[in-house]
Amino acid sequence: MNVNKLFLRKTVVITGAMGGYGSELVKSFADQGAALILTDRNSNYTNTHQLDASQYQYFQADLCNIDEIQNLTAMILKDVTPDVWVNNAGVFPFVDIMDVDLTQFDQLLSVNLRAPFYFCQKIGAAMAKKGGGSICNISSGAANVMRTNGSIYGATKSGLDHLTRLFAVKLGPSGVRVNGVRPGLRMGDTVQEIPPLHVEAIEKAIPLRRIARPGELAKAVSFLCSPKASFITGEILAVDGGSSINRRRET
Protein backbone atom coordinates (compact mmCIF):
# COMPACT_ATOMS: atom_id res chain seq x y z
CA MET A 1 0.00 0.00 0.00
CA ASN A 2 1.19 3.50 -0.84
CA VAL A 3 1.55 5.05 2.64
CA ASN A 4 0.76 8.46 1.19
CA LYS A 5 -2.52 7.20 -0.27
CA LEU A 6 -3.97 5.31 2.69
CA PHE A 7 -7.52 6.05 1.57
CA LEU A 8 -7.18 5.38 -2.14
CA ARG A 9 -10.46 3.93 -3.47
CA LYS A 10 -12.06 4.57 -0.07
CA THR A 11 -15.20 6.66 0.41
CA VAL A 12 -14.92 9.18 3.24
CA VAL A 13 -17.83 11.30 4.51
CA ILE A 14 -17.11 14.51 6.46
CA THR A 15 -19.85 16.55 8.11
CA GLY A 16 -19.27 20.23 8.80
CA ALA A 17 -16.91 20.22 5.84
CA MET A 18 -16.66 24.00 5.49
CA GLY A 19 -15.58 24.85 9.04
CA GLY A 20 -11.99 25.28 10.19
CA TYR A 21 -11.53 21.67 11.22
CA GLY A 22 -13.73 20.45 8.37
CA SER A 23 -11.52 22.14 5.80
CA GLU A 24 -8.46 20.62 7.44
CA LEU A 25 -10.00 17.15 7.30
CA VAL A 26 -11.04 17.58 3.67
CA LYS A 27 -7.50 18.45 2.63
CA SER A 28 -5.98 15.58 4.58
CA PHE A 29 -8.26 12.86 3.21
CA ALA A 30 -8.12 14.32 -0.32
CA ASP A 31 -4.33 14.26 -0.25
CA GLN A 32 -4.50 10.60 0.75
CA GLY A 33 -6.61 9.64 -2.24
CA ALA A 34 -10.11 9.41 -0.75
CA ALA A 35 -13.33 9.85 -2.67
CA LEU A 36 -15.08 12.48 -0.56
CA ILE A 37 -18.70 13.03 0.31
CA LEU A 38 -18.97 16.40 2.03
CA THR A 39 -21.86 18.03 3.82
CA ASP A 40 -22.53 21.35 5.51
CA ARG A 41 -25.46 23.70 6.04
CA ASN A 42 -24.33 26.10 3.30
CA SER A 43 -26.05 25.82 -0.06
CA ASN A 44 -22.82 25.53 -2.06
CA TYR A 45 -19.43 24.08 -1.25
CA THR A 46 -16.55 26.55 -1.31
CA ASN A 47 -13.79 24.52 -2.95
CA THR A 48 -10.89 26.26 -1.22
CA HIS A 49 -8.53 23.32 -1.85
CA GLN A 50 -9.33 23.23 -5.58
CA LEU A 51 -10.38 19.60 -5.48
CA ASP A 52 -11.03 17.90 -8.78
CA ALA A 53 -14.77 17.66 -9.42
CA SER A 54 -14.46 13.88 -9.70
CA GLN A 55 -13.02 13.63 -6.19
CA TYR A 56 -15.98 14.88 -4.18
CA GLN A 57 -19.74 15.21 -3.89
CA TYR A 58 -21.41 17.88 -1.80
CA PHE A 59 -24.79 17.75 -0.04
CA GLN A 60 -26.37 20.62 1.82
CA ALA A 61 -27.97 19.58 5.11
CA ASP A 62 -29.09 21.38 8.25
CA LEU A 63 -28.30 18.95 11.05
CA CYS A 64 -30.89 20.63 13.28
CA ASN A 65 -33.56 19.27 10.94
CA ILE A 66 -34.54 15.62 11.45
CA ASP A 67 -35.89 15.26 7.91
CA GLU A 68 -32.67 16.59 6.42
CA ILE A 69 -30.38 14.22 8.34
CA GLN A 70 -32.60 11.29 7.39
CA ASN A 71 -32.67 12.35 3.73
CA LEU A 72 -28.91 12.90 3.69
CA THR A 73 -28.29 9.43 5.10
CA ALA A 74 -30.67 7.82 2.61
CA MET A 75 -29.11 9.63 -0.37
CA ILE A 76 -25.61 8.52 0.59
CA LEU A 77 -26.51 4.91 1.35
CA LYS A 78 -28.48 4.65 -1.90
CA ASP A 79 -25.21 4.80 -3.83
CA VAL A 80 -22.47 3.64 -1.46
CA THR A 81 -21.66 2.39 2.02
CA PRO A 82 -18.88 4.70 3.24
CA ASP A 83 -15.60 3.26 4.44
CA VAL A 84 -15.07 6.20 6.80
CA TRP A 85 -17.51 8.60 8.41
CA VAL A 86 -16.30 11.66 10.35
CA ASN A 87 -18.85 13.39 12.58
CA ASN A 88 -17.17 16.79 12.60
CA ALA A 89 -20.09 19.25 12.49
CA GLY A 90 -20.65 21.11 15.74
CA VAL A 91 -21.89 24.40 17.18
CA PHE A 92 -20.43 26.34 20.09
CA PRO A 93 -22.25 29.48 21.19
CA PHE A 94 -19.90 31.49 23.41
CA VAL A 95 -22.58 32.06 26.06
CA ASP A 96 -22.59 31.82 29.85
CA ILE A 97 -24.71 29.01 31.26
CA MET A 98 -27.07 31.49 32.89
CA ASP A 99 -27.77 33.12 29.52
CA VAL A 100 -28.33 30.06 27.33
CA ASP A 101 -31.90 30.02 26.02
CA LEU A 102 -33.87 26.94 25.01
CA THR A 103 -33.44 27.59 21.30
CA GLN A 104 -29.66 27.51 21.71
CA PHE A 105 -29.96 24.46 23.97
CA ASP A 106 -31.95 22.55 21.34
CA GLN A 107 -29.52 23.56 18.57
CA LEU A 108 -26.56 22.27 20.57
CA LEU A 109 -28.24 18.96 21.31
CA SER A 110 -29.43 18.53 17.72
CA VAL A 111 -26.14 19.22 15.94
CA ASN A 112 -23.62 17.98 18.50
CA LEU A 113 -25.39 14.88 19.78
CA ARG A 114 -28.57 13.85 17.97
CA ALA A 115 -27.12 13.99 14.44
CA PRO A 116 -23.95 12.01 15.30
CA PHE A 117 -26.12 9.46 17.12
CA TYR A 118 -28.30 8.97 14.04
CA PHE A 119 -25.32 8.71 11.70
CA CYS A 120 -23.53 6.23 13.97
CA GLN A 121 -26.69 4.16 14.16
CA LYS A 122 -27.61 4.08 10.46
CA ILE A 123 -24.19 4.31 8.84
CA GLY A 124 -22.77 1.96 11.46
CA ALA A 125 -25.45 -0.62 10.60
CA ALA A 126 -24.61 -0.34 6.89
CA MET A 127 -20.89 -0.70 7.59
CA ALA A 128 -21.59 -3.71 9.78
CA LYS A 129 -23.57 -5.34 6.98
CA LYS A 130 -20.64 -4.72 4.62
CA GLY A 131 -18.20 -6.19 7.13
CA GLY A 132 -16.25 -3.18 8.34
CA GLY A 133 -15.66 0.54 8.43
CA SER A 134 -14.51 3.34 10.68
CA ILE A 135 -16.39 6.18 12.37
CA CYS A 136 -14.63 9.08 14.07
CA ASN A 137 -16.49 11.55 16.28
CA ILE A 138 -14.95 14.98 16.85
CA SER A 139 -15.30 15.66 20.56
CA SER A 140 -13.73 18.30 22.80
CA GLY A 141 -11.80 18.69 26.03
CA ALA A 142 -14.91 20.54 27.20
CA ALA A 143 -16.42 17.08 27.71
CA ASN A 144 -14.75 16.82 31.09
CA VAL A 145 -13.56 20.35 31.88
CA MET A 146 -16.09 22.68 33.47
CA ARG A 147 -16.41 25.91 31.46
CA THR A 148 -19.37 28.12 32.32
CA ASN A 149 -19.23 29.85 28.93
CA GLY A 150 -19.53 26.55 27.08
CA SER A 151 -21.36 24.37 29.55
CA ILE A 152 -24.07 22.89 27.32
CA TYR A 153 -21.51 22.36 24.58
CA GLY A 154 -19.43 20.38 27.06
CA ALA A 155 -22.44 18.31 28.06
CA THR A 156 -23.14 17.40 24.43
CA LYS A 157 -19.51 16.39 23.89
CA SER A 158 -19.53 14.30 27.06
CA GLY A 159 -22.61 12.56 25.69
CA LEU A 160 -20.88 12.07 22.34
CA ASP A 161 -17.91 10.40 24.05
CA HIS A 162 -20.33 8.04 25.80
CA LEU A 163 -22.04 7.21 22.50
CA THR A 164 -18.64 6.62 20.89
CA ARG A 165 -17.88 3.88 23.39
CA LEU A 166 -21.39 2.41 23.20
CA PHE A 167 -21.26 2.12 19.41
CA ALA A 168 -17.72 0.73 19.59
CA VAL A 169 -19.02 -2.11 21.76
CA LYS A 170 -22.15 -2.68 19.67
CA LEU A 171 -20.51 -2.55 16.24
CA GLY A 172 -17.14 -4.09 17.11
CA PRO A 173 -18.18 -7.71 16.45
CA SER A 174 -19.03 -6.68 12.87
CA GLY A 175 -15.61 -5.16 12.26
CA VAL A 176 -16.70 -1.52 12.59
CA ARG A 177 -14.42 0.68 14.67
CA VAL A 178 -15.71 3.82 16.43
CA ASN A 179 -13.32 6.33 17.97
CA GLY A 180 -13.21 9.98 18.92
CA VAL A 181 -10.74 12.85 18.89
CA ARG A 182 -10.68 15.80 21.29
CA PRO A 183 -8.96 18.63 19.42
CA GLY A 184 -7.42 21.63 21.08
CA LEU A 185 -8.48 25.17 20.29
CA ARG A 186 -7.34 26.63 16.99
CA MET A 187 -8.47 29.83 15.38
CA GLY A 188 -11.27 29.82 12.81
CA ASP A 189 -13.30 26.95 14.27
CA THR A 190 -16.18 28.83 15.85
CA VAL A 191 -18.77 31.12 14.31
CA GLN A 192 -18.09 33.75 16.96
CA GLU A 193 -14.61 35.27 17.12
CA ILE A 194 -12.87 34.39 20.37
CA PRO A 195 -11.46 37.47 22.14
CA PRO A 196 -7.63 37.68 21.81
CA LEU A 197 -7.17 38.05 25.57
CA HIS A 198 -9.14 34.84 26.08
CA VAL A 199 -6.91 33.01 23.57
CA GLU A 200 -3.82 34.35 25.33
CA ALA A 201 -5.10 33.09 28.69
CA ILE A 202 -5.82 29.67 27.19
CA GLU A 203 -2.32 29.41 25.72
CA LYS A 204 -0.73 30.15 29.08
CA ALA A 205 -2.72 27.34 30.68
CA ILE A 206 -1.79 24.70 28.07
CA PRO A 207 1.24 22.58 29.02
CA LEU A 208 2.68 22.96 25.50
CA ARG A 209 1.95 26.71 25.70
CA ARG A 210 0.19 27.10 22.36
CA ILE A 211 -3.09 26.45 20.60
CA ALA A 212 -3.44 23.82 17.87
CA ARG A 213 -1.81 24.22 14.49
CA PRO A 214 -3.55 23.44 11.19
CA GLY A 215 -3.22 19.76 10.32
CA GLU A 216 -2.71 18.36 13.81
CA LEU A 217 -6.31 17.23 14.23
CA ALA A 218 -6.44 15.71 10.74
CA LYS A 219 -3.34 13.58 11.37
CA ALA A 220 -4.98 12.02 14.43
CA VAL A 221 -8.31 11.42 12.67
CA SER A 222 -6.55 9.93 9.65
CA PHE A 223 -4.58 7.56 11.87
CA LEU A 224 -7.65 6.36 13.77
CA CYS A 225 -9.58 5.76 10.53
CA SER A 226 -6.72 3.97 8.78
CA PRO A 227 -5.50 0.36 8.85
CA LYS A 228 -2.69 1.57 11.12
CA ALA A 229 -5.27 1.68 13.93
CA SER A 230 -6.90 -1.64 13.05
CA PHE A 231 -7.01 -2.80 16.70
CA ILE A 232 -8.18 0.48 18.22
CA THR A 233 -11.84 1.16 18.98
CA GLY A 234 -13.78 3.00 21.68
CA GLU A 235 -10.89 5.39 22.32
CA ILE A 236 -11.11 9.16 22.75
CA LEU A 237 -7.75 10.66 21.74
CA ALA A 238 -6.92 14.14 23.07
CA VAL A 239 -4.93 16.23 20.60
CA ASP A 240 -4.86 19.38 22.68
CA GLY A 241 -1.36 20.01 23.97
CA GLY A 242 -2.36 18.63 27.36
CA SER A 243 -5.04 21.26 28.01
CA SER A 244 -7.61 18.72 29.20
CA ILE A 245 -5.31 17.12 31.79
CA ASN A 246 -6.82 17.37 35.26
CA ARG A 247 -4.15 19.26 37.18
CA ARG A 248 -3.60 21.86 39.89
CA ARG A 249 -3.20 25.47 38.91
CA GLU A 250 0.46 26.42 38.78
CA THR A 251 1.69 28.71 41.57
Average pLDDT of the residues in 112-129: 98
> What is the per-residue pLDDT across 19-35, written as a single tens digit (0 to 9) for each?
989 999 999 999 999 99
Q: Does the domain made of 3-239 have the CATH classification 3.30.460.10?
A: no
Query: Which residues contact residue 23 at a Cβ distance below 8 angstroms, ignoring those fewer than 6 apart?
Result: 17, 48, 49
Q: CA–CA separation, 90 vs 156, rounded Å?
A: 10
Q: How buried is 96 (Cβ within 10 angstroms: 0-12 exposed, 13-18 middle, 19+ buried)?
A: exposed
Active site residue 153: yes
Bridge partner list, 39: 15, 59
pLDDT at position 192 over 70:
no
HSE-CB at 63 with a 13 A cutoff on CA atoms is: 25
Query: Most confidently modeled of 61-70, 84-93, 201-210, 242-251?
Result: 61-70
In the chain the first and final C-alpha atoms are separated, in Å, by 51
What pLDDT is stored for residue 249 in this prediction?
A: 61
CA distance 22 to 18: 5
pLDDT digits (tens, 9 = 90+) for 136-151: 999 988 778 777 666 7
What number is the average pLDDT over the span 73-86? Answer: 98
Q: Which candidate in 45, 56, 58, 153 is catalytic?
A: 153
pLDDT digits (tens, 9 = 90+) for 196-224: 777 777 777 777 887 778 888 999 999 99
